[in-house]
Amino acid sequence: LSDRLSRLVKQMRGQARITENNVQDMLREVRMALLEADVALPVVRDFIARVKERALGQEVVGSLSPGQALVGVVHKELAATMGEGVSDLNLAAQPPAVILMAGLQGAGKTTTTAKLARHLIQSRKKKVLTVSADVYRPAAIEQLKTVTKAAGAEWFPSQPSDKPLDIARAALDHARRHYFDVLIVDTAGRLAIDEALMAEIRELHATLKPVETLFVVDAMQGQDAINTAKAFKDALPLTGIVLTKLDGDSRGGAALSVRTVTGAPIKFAGVSEKIDGLEVFDAQRHAGRVLGMGDIVALVEEVQKGVDMAAAQKLADKVKSGDGFDLNDFLSQISQMKKMGGLSGLMDKLPSHLAAKAGQADMDRAEREVRRMEGIINAMTPLERRKPELLKASRKRRIAAGAGVQVQEVNRLLNQFEQMQGMMKKMKGGGLMKMMKRMGG
C-alpha cells in the first residue's frame, strides 16, 4: 500500500478543502488497504464512513494538499479507533485481583498468562499465582507449569480429572490465604466457538469475579477475528484484548476489527513466543503498520516544515509558463532537500521495507553527491546558472577548480541537470518527491 499512499500524498494540487470529489479515489485506496490488512468488511465500511464524515469540508491547512490532509485524518482515526494512549492492567480490587484469560485454542492464552505474570512481577512488583482450568488437553496444565516457572511466578496445581469451577475456587482460596496480589486463570479453548465452552467460561467468570477479563486473539486470524470477538463479547464482559503473534507477517488488521466489535481496549501485543515477547499496545504505531506506511504521516509534516512552499510554487509557475528551469532552480531544489533533514533522515521515516531496499550505503553516497553538486553550482556566476549553455570548456575548468572537483564532475552535473529539466517540464513543477527518488537512485 505504501506505494499507493505515497502517490496520494504526492497529489499536490492547489485545492483548498477536502471535497467528495477530490477524496473519492483516495478513500477507495484506503478501503483497499484496510481489506488487504485483513480488516473485516463491515468494520471497513464503518471506518470509511467515519473518516469521510470527519474529513469532508475540512479546510486544508497551509501547504497541505487534500491527499496529505486525508492521510492525516485516516491515521488519526485509525489510532483513535484502536485506542488512545495505553492502558495497563487494572488491579484495583481486593487482593487477589483475578485475571481471566479467554480465547480460542491456540490463540496464545497459556503463553500470555506467563508473559503477563512476568510483566506484573517485573514492572509492578506483584506476587503472582497462575492456575490452569484447561482440563481437556492433558499437556495444557504441564505447559502452564513450565512457562509459569520461567516467568518466576507461582503455579497452582490442577488435575485433568478436576472440574474447572472447583479448580478456580481452590486457586482463589489458596491465593487469598497466601497473600497473592494477582491470580491469573488460564482456560481451555476450542478450535471453534461452541456453546459448552462459552457456558463454562461464563460460570468461571461468575465464580471468580475477575477485575480483568482478557480476550486473547491471534492477529493472524484476520477476517475471522470479527466472529470470534463477537461470540466472546456476547458471552463475557471483556475488559481488554491481547493481540498475539504480531511478529508474524499479518498486517494486524484484526486489531481494528476486534476493537470495533468488542469496544474493549487492546492492552497488550504478543511479539514472540518467548516469555518477554509482550509489549504494551501502542495504537499510534500500530495504525502505521496497518496502513503499511511507516511514518509517512511524519514525513508529510517534515516536508511541509522544511520546504518553502512559496518558493516551490514560484518554481512550478515558472516551469508552467515556459520560463524554463535553470541551475538556480536546481540549486534551490537541492537545498530544499537538505532542509528536509538530508536524504538519510528522510529514509528513517519511510516504511522499513522501502528503506531496506534503498540501503544506508546508497543513501550516504547520494547525500555526498548532493553536497558536491551544491558546491559546483555555488562556484558558478549567477549568469551561468541562468544560462547553462554558456558553460564551455574554459568556464567549466574555472568552476571545477573553484569547487575542488574534476571537470568530468561538472559535466556530469550538467547532464543530470538536463535530465531533471526535462522531467520538470513533464511534471509541470512540484514533483519534489519524484525528484528525490531520482536523485537517491
Given candidates 67, 270, 429, 431, which one binds ligand GDP under the rule CB under 6 A? 270
Question: Cell digits for 216?
Answer: 486473547
43 binds, among ligand GDP, Mg ion, none (CB under 5 to 8 A by kind): none
245 binds, among Mg ion, ligand GDP, none (CB under 5 to 8 A by kind): ligand GDP
- Report the candidate in 274, 283, 282 with the shortest Cα–Cα distance to residue 245: 274
Return the half-sphere exposure (C-beta side, CA atoms, 13 A cut-off) of residue 247: 10
Nearer to Mg ion, 137 or 372 (CB): 137
Residue 146 interacts with ligand GDP (CB under 6 A): yes or no: no
- In order of 128, 247, 275, 372, the CA distances from 149 in angstroms are 11, 24, 10, 60
- Report the candidate in 6, 116, 112 with the shortest Cα–Cα distance to residue 67: 6
What is the spatial distance between Cα 166 and Cα 169, in angstroms, rounded to a whole number? 5
Nearer to ligand GDP, 248 or 404 (CB): 248
- Exposed/middle/buried for residue 64 (C-beta within 10 Å: 0-12, 13-18, 19+): buried
How far is C-alpha 38 from the geometric centre of its chain's CA atoms?
Answer: 15
Nearer to ligand GDP, 270 or 430 (CB): 270
Nearer to ligand GDP, 111 or 336 (CB): 111
Site for Mg ion in 88-117 (CB under 5 A): 109-110
Query: Which segment (92-100, 233-241, 265-273, 376-384) binds ligand GDP by CB under 6 A?
Result: 265-273
What is the spatial distance between Cα 42 and Cα 64, in angstroms, rounded to a whole number? 31
Residue 110 interacts with ligand GDP (CB under 6 A): yes or no: yes
Q: 228 labelled as ligand-binding?
A: no
107 binds, among Mg ion, ligand GDP, none (CB under 5 to 8 A by kind): ligand GDP
Count residues near ligand GDP (CB under 6 A): 17
Query: Which segment (58-66, 79-87, 269-277, 350-358) binds ligand GDP by CB under 6 A?
Result: 269-277
What is the spatial distance between Cα 263 and Cα 83, in angstroms, rounded to a whole number? 9
Residue 244 interacts with Mg ion (CB under 5 A): yes or no: no
In angstroms, how far is the first alpha carbon of the chain from the final one? 21
Q: Do the beta carbons of residue 76 and residue 44 sit within 8 Å?
A: no
Site map (CB under 6 A) of ligand GDP, residues 233-252, x = contact: -----------xx-x-----
Residue whose CB is nearest to ligand GDP in the complex, by number: 270
Residues ≥6 apart with Cβ < 8 Å to 298: 349
Residues ≥6 apart with Cβ < 8 Å to 389: none
Residues ≥6 apart with Cβ < 8 Å to 250: 38, 219, 220, 222
- Report the candidate in 250, 245, 243, 254 with the shortest Cα–Cα distance to residue 282: 243
Q: What is the CA radius of gyration of the chain?
A: 29
- Please state the closest distance from residue 201 (CB atom) to Mg ion, in A: 13
- Please state the closest distance from residue 64 (CB atom) to ligand GDP, in A: 38
Site for ligand GDP in 166-195 (CB under 6 A): 189
- Please state the closest distance from residue 216 (CB atom) to ligand GDP, in A: 6
What is the spatial distance between Cα 216 and Cα 184, in angstroms, rounded to a whole number? 13
Q: 13 labelled as ligand-binding?
A: no
What is the spatial distance between Cα 252 and Cα 87, in angstroms, rounded to a whole number? 19
Nearer to ligand GDP, 66 or 270 (CB): 270
Nearer to ligand GDP, 189 or 351 (CB): 189
Q: Do the beta carbons of residue 100 and residue 210 sit within 8 Å?
A: yes
Nearer to Mg ion, 215 or 325 (CB): 215
Residue 187 interacts with Mg ion (CB under 5 A): yes or no: no
2 binds, among ligand GDP, Mg ion, none (CB under 5 to 8 A by kind): none
Nearer to ligand GDP, 239 or 336 (CB): 239
Put the strands of the sheet holding 154-156 in their side by side order: 154-156, 128-132, 182-186, 97-102, 212-218, 240-244, 266-270, 278-280
Given candidates 11, 15, 63, 105, which one binds ligand GDP under the rule CB under 6 A? 105
Residue 272 interacts with ligand GDP (CB under 6 A): yes or no: yes
Q: 149 labelled as ligand-binding?
A: no
Q: 187 labelled as ligand-binding?
A: yes
Where is the binding site for GTP, in residues? Answer: 103-110, 186-190, 244-247
Residues that bind ligand GDP (CB under 6 A): 103, 105-111, 189, 244-245, 247, 270-273, 277
* Residues of the binding site: 103-110, 186-190, 244-247
Residues found near Mg ion in the complex (CB under 5 A):
109-110, 140
